[in-house]
Amino acid sequence: MDAKSAPRLSARERLLAAADELFYANGINTVGIDRVIEHAGVAKASLYDCFGSKEELIRSYLQARSVARQARINERISRYETPEEQILSIFDLLAEVVAEPGYRGCAFVRAGADANSSEAVKSVCQESRGFIRGRFTELAREGGAADPEALAGQLVLLYDGAATAAYMDGNREAAKVARSLAGQMLAAALPKLRRTGKRGR
């Protein structure tokens, strides 16, 4: 399909694409509406017709990123059988993400930490972070951890620390180090039979 026959994106899709690029690269509260509109190539009225406000555009941008991240994580987990492998696969995926050109840290941590962010924006960030913690908790429970919530909290610390170090310190090995540490934690916390996928009958 050539460029002429390719379906044209709607104004909403173009605005979200522009927001994703500009907000992630520069921050949600440093990029003005006019810049997003110009980048999207739409009329100013389109933004208000589609989103009503910049705040809603920001919330929608973060929501779209959250849905995409959840899908990536769930797809990666589905490739493995044991809880240990599934947990470690999340760190493998993080290692791939932080190695991508233009990586600027976790969009949800950055947006949620911005003092000017609205409660609606912070809520999306909290929900996205809650998904990560929830997946770690579920998998830790499936693996037979004595305290799955505590183990999940430790894994989130490793995940967040690796994501931050990769951006702030330029340490592209951070996710791999975090994976190694997570592996050690899992070896100690999960019963061997549950980690290897072997089950008693």
pLDDT, one tens digit per residue, over 20-58 is 999 999 999 899 999 999 999 999 999 999 999 999 999
CATH of the domain at 48: 1.10.10.60
Is 78 among the domain residues?
yes
66 and 150 both lie in a single domain: yes
Summarised one tens digit per residue, pLDDT across range 87-129 is 999 999 999 999 999 999 999 998 988 867 889 999 999 999 9
141 plus 180 within the same structural domain: yes
Q: Which of 129, 135, 128, 134 is nearest to 86 (CA)?
A: 135
- Indicate if the pLDDT at residue 2 is higher than 50: no
Residue 119's φ and ψ, nearest 5 degrees, are -65, -35
**Residue 2 included in any domain:** no
Helix (H) or strand (E) holding 84: helix 83-98
Instruction: Tell whether 201 is covered by a domain.
Output: no
Q: pLDDT of 56-70, one tens digit each? A: 999 999 999 999 999
pLDDT of 201: 32
Q: The CATH number of the domain where 121 resides is what? A: 1.10.357.10
Which residues form the domain of 25?
Answer: 9-52
User: Which one, of 93, 91, 85, lies nearest residue 177 by Cα?
Assistant: 91
Q: Within this chain, do residues 130 and 112 fall inside the same structural domain, yes or no?
A: yes
Which residue in this structure is represented by tokens 């969009």? Answer: 107
Token pair of 178, please?
A: 């975090």
* Residue 77 DSSP symbol: H
Tokens representing 99? 């190695």
pLDDT class of 196 with cuts at 50, 70, 90: low
Asked, for residue 38, whether it belongs to a domain, the answer is yes
Q: How many structural domains comprise the chain?
A: 2
User: CA 17, CA 23: separation in Å to the nearest integer?
Assistant: 10
User: Is residue 76 included in any domain, yes or no?
Assistant: yes
Which of residues 196 and 46 earns the better pLDDT score? Answer: 46
Alpha carbon distance, N-terminus to C-terminus of the chain = 54
Question: Distance between CA 45 and CA 31 in Å, rounded?
Answer: 18
Band (7; pLDDT cuts 50, 70, 90): low
